[in-house]
A and B are shown apart, each in its own frame.
Chain A
Amino acid sequence: AQTVTQSQPEMSVQEAETVTLSCTYDTSESNYYLFWYKQPPSRQMILVIRQEAYKQQNATENRFSVNFQKAAKSFSLKISDSQLGDTAMYFCAFMKLFTGANNLFFGTGTRLTVIP
């Protein structure tokens, strides 16, 4: 079974600063995907970034980047130049290498507040 752990229930950051959200996971799989999803107060969840475990290079999407440490089973999200619109719940998620369904295992989430 897969488990995804987010040990920071809440975090805050000043506008324009950088913040890092932590995620660890446990799996016996050697190939898989990891994701960060964002759920703004309006509640519609959107994909922020995806990392393939077989790729050593860390994924980057504009101000969002990850630090993927496969051996440590760690997958943190760094948000640079934080903006008020980044205020949201952030979920880390795991998926086995594609097995015929896009089924994700989610962590419990980190509530991020960006302070003006």
Chain B
Amino acid sequence: NAGVTQTPKFQVLKTGQSMTLQCAQDMNHEYMSWYRQDPGMGLRLIHYSVGAGITDQGEVPNGYNVSRSTTEDFPLRLLSAAPSQTSVYFCASSLGPDRPGELFFGEGSRLTVL
């Protein structure tokens, strides 16, 4: 059972470069989201989607872009990487109202911006 798959697991970027973090889930979940985890700050919501073609901003959306063209995939794009975006990124999916707050997480992607 794959669940939520994130790639890459590790990435080093230079300031100003762009990249895409991939996220795919095989559980037919409608809801997907991206969080970042920073030391001493817990997880913060970047963007989320409640279905294909629908996305919205979370708590810390600046510098990131998302799209949801299929139910399975929810990529996160860094438009012009900055050192402040050094973090561990987690993608999550969920069933939605049937199981409130029950998120299934990927293993995370550690991004370092130099």
Residues 66-106 of B, flagged 1 when their CB comes within 8 A of A and 0 if not, give: 00000000000000000000001010001011001111011
CB atoms of B107 and A42 under 8 A apart: yes
Chain B residues within an 8 Å CB radius of A93: 101
Interface residue from A45, A102, A107 paired with B96 (Cβ < 8 Å) = A102
Instruction: Judge whether A104 is part of the interface by a CB distance below 8 angstroms.
Output: yes
User: How many residue pairs at the A-B interface have CB separations less than 8 Å?
Assistant: 61
Known: A91-B43, A98-B100, A108-B41. A103 touches B105 (CB 8 A): no
Number of B residues contacting the other chain (C-beta, 8 Å)? 26
**15 additional A-B residue pairs with CB within 8 Å, beyond A45-B103, A103-B48, A109-B42:** A4-B42, A42-B107, A43-B88, A44-B106, A47-B101, A47-B103, A91-B42, A95-B101, A101-B33, A102-B96, A102-B101, A103-B45, A104-B43, A104-B45, A104-B103
Contact residues of B with A, CB < 8 Å?
A: 31, 33, 35, 40-45, 48, 50, 56, 58, 88, 90, 94, 96-97, 100-103, 105-108
